[in-house]
């Protein structure tokens, strides 16, 4: 498991999960390597979902290699239960570029190039605006300087 990743149990029923994974296999798609077994997935937690690594990202689209809704109460890391873990970090983009994208209106904008959100493989990601089987749209996603990242909501290990 990579640093910042967690495990979470899918919110799909066993039947829905079998059907979904079966359809992927039938269509010749790979079952995500992050699928462990019995409905458990490993990845980055973002507002009710587990994400895989980023397949593609630009101004128009943010595409993780997979996403699945999970039960937040099942999140764990290294065998211990964890709560939401939000971070803040400085964006790699300069202020002129950020102003062009109108980030001041997003919920994660902290000012002066700083953002708050969930960490996904070099990005901070905001709340999920829309999700289907084919795409997922977070409110914002921004590449960050990992060395500036600090915890905003502390991880509670129970």
DSSP state of 11: S
Asked whether the beta carbons of 58 and 66 are under 8 A apart, the reply is: no
Structural domain tally of the chain? Answer: 1
Q: What is the mean pLDDT of residues 24-38?
A: 70
Give me the domain span that covers residue 86: 6-153
Q: Is residue 158 part of a domain?
A: no
- The encoded tokens of residue 138 equal 């977070």
Q: Is residue 81 part of a domain?
A: yes
**For residue 128, what are the contacts with CB-CB under 8 A and spacing of at least 6?**
46, 47, 48, 49, 136, 137, 138, 139
Q: Is residue 100 part of a domain?
A: yes
Q: Is residue 74 part of a domain?
A: yes
Asked whether the beta carbons of 146 and 76 are under 8 A apart, the reply is: no
Q: What is the mean pLDDT of residues 47-63?
A: 85
Q: Is residue 145 part of a domain?
A: yes
Closest by Cα among 50, 33, 27, 17 to 136: 50
Mean pLDDT, all residues of the chain = 80
Q: What is the DSSP string of 76-142?
A: EETTEE----EEEEEBSS-HHHHHHTTGGGSTTEEETTEEEEEEETTEEE--EEEE-SS-EEES-EE
What percent of the chain stands above pLDDT 70?
A: 79
Whether the per-residue pLDDT at 156 is higher than 50: the answer is: no
Lowest mean pLDDT among 56-60, 100-104, 116-120: 100-104
Q: Is residue 30 part of a domain?
A: yes
Q: Is residue 1 part of a domain?
A: no
Q: Is residue 86 part of a domain?
A: yes
For 60-97, what is each residue's pLDDT tens digit? 888 888 888 888 888 888 888 887 678 899 988 777 66
Please give the model's pTM, rounded to 2 decimal places: 0.78
């Amino acid at each position: 498991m990579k640093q910042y990743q967690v495990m979470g149990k899918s919110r799909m029923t066993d039947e829905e999960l079998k059907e979904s994974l079966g359809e992927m296999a039938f269509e010749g798609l790979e079952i995500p390597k992050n699928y462990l077994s019995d409905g458990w997935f490993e990845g980055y937690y973002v507002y009710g979902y587990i994400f895989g690594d980023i397949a593609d990202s630009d101004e128009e689209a943010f595409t993780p290699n997979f996403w699945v809704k999970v039960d937040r109460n099942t999140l764990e890391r290294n065998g211990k239960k964890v709560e939401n873990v939000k971070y803040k970090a400085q964006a790699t983009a300069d202020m002129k570029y950020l102003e062009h994208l109108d980030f001041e209106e997003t919920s994660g904008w902290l000012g002066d190039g700083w953002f708050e959100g969930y960490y996904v493989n070099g990005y901070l990601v905001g709340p999920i605006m829309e999700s289907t089987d084919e795409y997922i749209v977070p409110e914002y996603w921004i590449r960050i300087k990992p060395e500036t990242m600090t915890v905003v909501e502390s991880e509670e290990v129970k």
